[in-house]
């Protein structure tokens, strides 16, 4: 494992959390969007991600080892379930029965997601700074 691996792991976390903030912001901005270019209401989006794994040579076993190198986004998924219908017969997007289909975005859930993401981002930034300080101290000692 390289001495810069911890920084790479934290950087991948920072990138993921930034993407999650962008998606959450988009959800909040479209909380009342009933008509999109695709047709129908805006659908809540979520970031899909997984652990980023790499195969490396192992010095101990003289073989290949699977090591974690942070996280990576694998996509953004729309959730087509739980859209809300409200009776508004005068709305231009009302169906034949007078109901308008609204997005499945809940403001409280999005605010919680945003706070969680911001705290995770902050934790990654703190860990990145700690790694940077340790490397700086190691350079000072090695002089």
Q: What is the pLDDT of residues 96-118, one digit of tens each?
A: 999 999 999 999 999 999 999 99
Mean per-residue pLDDT, 16-35: 96
Which own/partner pairs from 128-136 qualify as long-range (CB within 8 Å, at least 24 positions apart)? 128/7, 128/10, 128/11, 128/14, 131/6, 131/7, 131/10, 132/7, 135/3, 135/4, 135/7
Q: What is the pLDDT of residues 74-94, one digit of tens each?
A: 999 999 888 999 999 999 999
The band of 143, judged by pLDDT with boundaries at 50, 70 and 90, is confident
The model's pTM is 0.83
Predicted pLDDT at 20: 97
């Amino acid at each position: 494992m390289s001495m810069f691996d911890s920084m790479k792991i934290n950087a991948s976390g920072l990138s993921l959390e930034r993407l999650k903030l962008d998606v959450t912001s988009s959800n909040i901005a479209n909380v009342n969007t009933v008509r999109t270019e695709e047709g129908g209401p805006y659908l809540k989006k979520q970031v899909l991600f997984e652990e980023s794994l790499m195969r490396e040579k192992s010095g101990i076993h003289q073989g290949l080892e699977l090591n974690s190198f942070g996280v990576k986004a694998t996509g953004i998924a729309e959730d087509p379930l739980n859209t809300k219908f409200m009776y508004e017969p005068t709305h231009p997007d009302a169906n034949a029965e007078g109901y308008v289909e609204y997005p499945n975005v809940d403001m409280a859930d999005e605010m919680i997601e945003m706070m969680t993401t911001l705290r995770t981002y902050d934790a990654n930034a703190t860990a990145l700074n700690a790694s940077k300080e340790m490397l700086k101290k190691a350079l000072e000692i090695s002089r």
